[in-house]
Amino acid sequence: MNIIIYLIAGAIVGYIASRIMKTNSQQGLLLDIVVGVIGAFLAGYFISPLLGIGTINDAITIPTMLVTLLGSVVLLWIFKMVRR
């Protein structure tokens, strides 16, 4: 069940991150969502517990969504820089 939550939340956050980074026309929406899911998973799994927020599996709250959004944006930015 945890992986399903990460996939759904990551897809939503990945879409939002692609809009923030304005990369959906350059890389394609599907690629942005996949990178967003990976970024959301990494941030939610590793960064959230370090900040004492808990993971998205504990509860879907504003702080957990912000951390996953930040992870998605950062990973999209890194991916965009590597592809240049």
Is 70 exceeded by the pLDDT of residue 1? no
Predicted confidence at residue 29, as pLDDT, reads: 77
- Structurally, the chain folds into a number of domains equal to 1
The string over 17-51, giving b where at least 16 C-beta atoms fall within 10 Å of a residue's C-beta and e elsewhere, is bbeebebbeebeeebbbbbbbbbbbbbbbebbeee
Please count the other Cβ atoms lying within 10 Å of the Cβ belonging to residue 6. 21
pLDDT 10s digits, 55-66: 766 777 888 888
At residue 61, the 3 state secondary structure works out as coil
- Structure-token pair, residue 11: 């897809």
- The mean predicted confidence, pLDDT, of the chain is 80
Q: Determine the structural domain holding residue 58 and report its residue range.
A: 2-83
Query: Sign of the C-alpha dihedral, residues 78, 79, 83, 84?
Result: negative
Give the mean model confidence (pLDDT) for residues 26-53: 81
Is 80 exceeded by the pLDDT of residue 42? yes
Is 70 exceeded by the pLDDT of residue 49? yes
